[in-house]
């Protein structure tokens, strides 16, 4: 598969692109079944909702003073980390030959998976998940340039009530100042300067097998899950092969996987 000029233009203009029904439904079901098993047993490494919003001193003490087993029952997993090495099914999806021509078009060179970022099964658990605030992924990453794109796979239906991704179109091309972000580096909802931009937000209701590609500087967010069913998604990030991670940063903590371009009909 390759993108049309119109699709490529949409990505460059908006910073994201929907590829409807890109992944096989059987593959989605298999990925979801494996993910559910890892989530049930909290197979490390994981990130919890508590880690995401920030632990209190008492909660940190309870985890580090030998009471982790008691605390474990209350943990809500937000993401399974380092999924590339968890299961061959995950690895094969991330190395999919079908998507390589698309990624090469967007990046302008052979794509390379960065295992240091995303490389995750993302969850929004019923009622216990938290809102994901407006942010740019690139603010937390360290590379020579911003030629990075994330690949989001919907394993089932995703919509506003269970935490579908929302985007601010074109925000990847905008320059922001530090005052527009809060102390945790989220794009501030309370800033009057940000309000008109936030009002332009858009989202697509996703179906099983849909893929969304989005630029690392695109502002995005998601609601908490207010339904009775978990929302489970798969996300990984690729960069242009010449875009180097900066030495001594978190972006160099894990290896990279070069995906050579494969010409597909």
44-48, 51-55, 108-112, 205-209: which has the minimum mean pLDDT? 51-55
Averaged pLDDT for residues 80-86: 97
What is the 3-state secondary structure of 56-114? CHHHHHHHHCCCHHHHHCCCCEEEECCHHHCCHHHHHHHCCCCCHHHHHHHHCCCEEEE
**Is the whole model's pTM more than 0.85, yes or no?**
yes
Q: How many CB atoms lie within 10 A of CB 253?
A: 10
- 14 Rama sector, left if φ>0, alpha if ψ -120 to 50, beta otherwise: alpha
What DSSP state is assigned to residue 228? S
Helix (H) or strand (E) holding 226: none
Q: For the segment 200-254, what is each residue's pLDDT rounded down to a tens digit?
A: 999 999 999 999 999 999 999 999 999 999 999 999 999 999 999 999 999 999 9
Q: For the segment 189-201, what is each residue's pLDDT rounded down to a tens digit?
A: 888 889 999 999 9
CA distance 63 to 51: 12
What was the pLDDT predicted at 71?
A: 47
What was the pLDDT predicted at 191?
A: 86
Q: Is residue 21 scored above 90 in pLDDT?
A: yes
Task: Give the pLDDT band (50/70/90) at residue 52.
Answer: confident
Residue in 96, 81, 221, 220 with CA at minimum distance from that of residue 153: 96
What was the pLDDT predicted at 69?
A: 40
Q: Is residue 57 scored above 60 in pLDDT?
A: no
Domains of the chain (ranges; CATH) run 5-51+58-258 (2.60.120.620)
Tokens of 143: 């590379």
CA distance 251 to 132: 22
């Amino acid at each position: 598969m390759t993108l049309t000029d119109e699709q490529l233009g949409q990505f460059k203009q908006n910073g994201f692109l929907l590829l409807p029904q890109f992944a096989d439904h059987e593959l989605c079901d298999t990925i979801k079944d494996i993910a559910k098993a890892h989530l049930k047993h909290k197979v490390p490494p994981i990130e919890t909702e508590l880690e995401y919003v920030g632990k209190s001193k008492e909660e940190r003490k309870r985890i580090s003073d030998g009471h982790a087993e008691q605390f474990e029952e209350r943990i809500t997993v937000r993401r399974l980390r380092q999924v590339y090495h968890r299961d061959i099914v995950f690895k094969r999806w991330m190395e999919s030959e079908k998507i390589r021509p698309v990624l090469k078009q967007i990046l302008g060179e052979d794509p390379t998976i960065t295992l240091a970022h995303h490389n995750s099964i993302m969850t929004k658990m019923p009622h216990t998940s938290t809102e994901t605030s407006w942010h740019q992924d690139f603010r937390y990453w360290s590379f020579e340039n911003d030629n990075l794109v994330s690949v989001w796979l919907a394993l089932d239906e995703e919509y506003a009530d269970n935490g579908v991704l929302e985007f601010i179109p074109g925000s990847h091309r905008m320059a922001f100042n530090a005052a527009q972000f809060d102390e945790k580096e989220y794009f501030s909802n309370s800033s009057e300067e940000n309000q008109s931009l936030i009002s332009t937000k858009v989202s697509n209701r996703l179906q099983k097998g849909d893929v969304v590609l989005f630029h690392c500087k695109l502002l995005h967010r998601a609601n908490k899950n207010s339904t009775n069913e978990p929302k489970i998604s798969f996300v990984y990030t690729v960069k242009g092969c010449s875009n180097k991670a900066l030495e001594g940063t978190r972006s160099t903590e894990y290896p990279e996987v070069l995906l050579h371009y494969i010409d597909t009909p």
